[in-house]
């Protein structure tokens, strides 16, 4: 007996092809998404990353000062995280 829902022969329909080269758009430039408006990345002491919530509301002098301080603090935190032996197991 044959099952009516399943054909006994393989389908002989033509396979679906890819679109022609002229149909697809080819961007010469890569897709770039800038996140500068979100502010700098902050490395927390536990290794997680966050951002300053009110970055867009800060004045330029506040942004400059924050960038200077964050660069120093992020570098110090990254060095301490790299030196901590218990973090090496989590990175692998």
Distance CA 90, CA 71 (A): 24
pLDDT band at 59 (very low <50, low <70, confident <90, very high): very high
For residues 76-91, give the mean pLDDT. Answer: 80
Residue 86 has pLDDT above 60, yes or no: yes
pLDDT band at 15 (very low <50, low <70, confident <90, very high): confident
54 close to 67: Cβ distance less than 8 angstroms? no
pLDDT given for residue 68 in this prediction: 97
Q: Are strands 41-43 and 49-51 parallel, antiparallel or unpaired?
A: antiparallel
Query: pTM for this structure?
Result: 0.57
**How does DSSP assign the chain, residue by residue?**
---TTS-SS---PPPP-PPPTTTS---SSPP----GGG--EEE-TTS-EEE-TTGGGS-HHHHHHHHHHHHHHHHHHHHHHHH-HHHHHHH-
Model confidence pLDDT, tens digit, residues 21-52: 775 566 667 788 888 889 999 999 999 999 99
The residue ranges of every structural domain in the chain are: 61-91
């Amino acid at each position: 007996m044959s099952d009516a829902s399943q054909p006994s022969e393989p389908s002989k329909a033509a396979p679906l092809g890819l679109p022609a080269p002229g149909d697809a758009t080819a961007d010469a430039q890569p897709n770039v998404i800038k996140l500068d408006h979100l502010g700098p990345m902050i490395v927390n002491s536990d290794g997680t990353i966050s951002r300053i919530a009110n970055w867009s509301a800060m004045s330029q002098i506040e942004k400059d000062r924050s960038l200077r301080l964050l660069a120093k603090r992020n570098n110090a935190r990254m060095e301490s995280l790299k030196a901590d032996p218990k973090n090496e197991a989590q990175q692998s």
